[in-house]
A = this chain, B = another copy of it.
Amino acid sequence: MKGGKGADGTKSAPGLRERSGTARPRMADVARIAGVSTATVSRALRQPELVSPEVRGKIAAAVEHLSYRPNLMAGALASARSKTIGVIIPSMINAFFSVTLEAIEEGLAGAGYQLLIGNSHYELETEERLITSMLAWSPAALVVTGCRHSRGAMRALLDTDVPIVEMWELTDNPIDTAIGFSQRDIGVAVARHFKERGARRLGFVGAMHQRDYRADARRAGFFETALSVGYEAPAEVQLPGLPTSVRGAKAFAELMSAHPDVDAVLCTNDIVALGALFEAQRLGWSVPERLKICGVGDVDFAAACEPGLSTVSLPRRAIGLKIAEVLRERIAGNLPTGGVHDLGFELVRRGST
């Protein structure tokens, strides 16, 4: 029964290491019952081909009988490697990262890996803390979001033998392996798209200006391209706080009232864009005729609204699967060298542009 339930009055002296009635079986117990040494049990469990079928059978029976589960920490300590993958993302709420996370998990769970997840909250210092504390678990690999890190984090990442993957961004100079796409080029592509669609004056709704530097890269690409194809600098407004639809709607309204000549708006992500889209409808601007709206992310939802939201589809799932693939190779030792994998993105044109 559950320990710790006070009702029985058993005051368990804190700190006293007591084995409750049925102790969790150890490998030694299995070995004893099967009549072999622990070394053989260990082998039978991790490299069965080294053990004779007969003994293997006895061990399996003992394991079954005791319902033995190896203590992974002991194993990890002894072998100096654990079946754990550390993943650091800047936000758990952001559905984009969740999809990537799920894909990593799918690609690796079968091989018995567990995901150790950390949330950096878009803060480089928090990321550094997480990196060092995750490395203290000797994970089989560590996945971080982005290619920009604090000095301390950089040192820790370069200094370890754990395979490192930087995701959701590209760089010429990866610590080890980078898997993602060019954030900047997204801005470029949308600006060009607006041009093609005949927009006259561009606008931009951003968020977390100083913290989310990936979003900032998109913005930079958008602004530079706008200028280079003949626009004046896009009108801009930044959301206070996290990007939500409600805030997006409000910010969009401000943008349009300050710059009524704007006729094409890029929003930092789809959530914001959808807020803007609805606000536009409420305000009576016809989309896409009078006003074009484009988001980033291609959330499930963008395809369902009316008009459909044009957006940039990101390889969120592909990133995760690729990470899993690379990591499997990497851990198996086949792929000693890192590299950069550009998974691209896709501008999905729907009704809103």
Residues of chain A touching chain B, judged by Cβ–Cβ distance below 8 Å, are 1-7, 12, 14, 17, 20, 22, 69-74, 76-77, 80, 82, 84, 91-93, 95, 98-99, 101-102, 105-106, 109, 112, 114-119, 132-138, 158-161, 163-164, 175-176, 244-246, 248-249, 271, 274-275, 278-279, 281-282, 300-301, 303-306, 330, 333, 336-338
Are B245 and A71 in contact, CB atoms less than 8 angstroms apart? no
> Could you list 18 A-B pairs, sorted by A, with CB under 8 Å?
A2-B175, A4-B161, A4-B163, A4-B338, A5-B338, A17-B80, A69-B133, A72-B133, A73-B73, A92-B99, A95-B98, A112-B133, A116-B117, A245-B300, A245-B301, A245-B303, A249-B304, A278-B306
For residue A5, which residues in chain B have a CB less than 8 angstroms away from its CB?
176, 336-338
Are A303 and B246 in contact, CB atoms less than 8 angstroms apart? yes
Are B336 and A6 in contact, CB atoms less than 8 angstroms apart? yes
**Interface of chain A, main secondary structure:** mixed
In-complex Cβ contact of A275 among B161, B248, B304, B337 (8 A): B304
For residue A114, which residues in chain B have a CB less than 8 angstroms away from its CB?
116-118, 133-134, 137
In-complex Cβ contact of A73 among B137, B161, B163, B279 (8 A): B137
Are A73 and B117 in contact, CB atoms less than 8 angstroms apart? no
For residue A99, which residues in chain B have a CB less than 8 angstroms away from its CB?
92-93
Are B300 and A271 in contact, CB atoms less than 8 angstroms apart? yes
Q: How far is the CB of A8 from chain B (nearest CB, A)?
A: 10
